[in-house]
Structure 1
């Protein structure tokens, strides 16, 4: 048969367990909220843009989509190279 004396011994401990659980859940909720705020702040930050690289990519996209001859394309690439060196 089951001994109910053990259950009666746990009754005085129950308020402490419930209080500890309440404190832990409050702490956990605050921690998760702070992590969420940090993640939102990081998402709002824009990574630094390398303007020179962005300009080169735009130029290459324009050259590729342009319907010009192969010689003209070679000249434009050489112009980019000399511009990069200066």
Structure 2
């Protein structure tokens, strides 16, 4: 049994290093999560959230206008005008 423990000794630095990296990652994750929760309660953040939502809605309208089939109708109208000449 004690012969097997000696095998783990060379692996100890790698295990400790992995644990240190994991714990730092978890700590940063918790700090960022707390900051996001605090930000949701601020009036400026709420105002900005509403403004972003409004801008996204306006972008959708502009995309719909840009991708409508107006170009094909416009070309057909121009072709008919040329035929009438």
Q: From the two aligned structures, give the one with the greater helix fraction.
A: 2
Higher Rg: 1
Larger relative contact order (Cα-Cα within 8 Å, sequence gap ≥ 6)? 1
Q: TM-score, normalised by structure 1?
A: 0.49
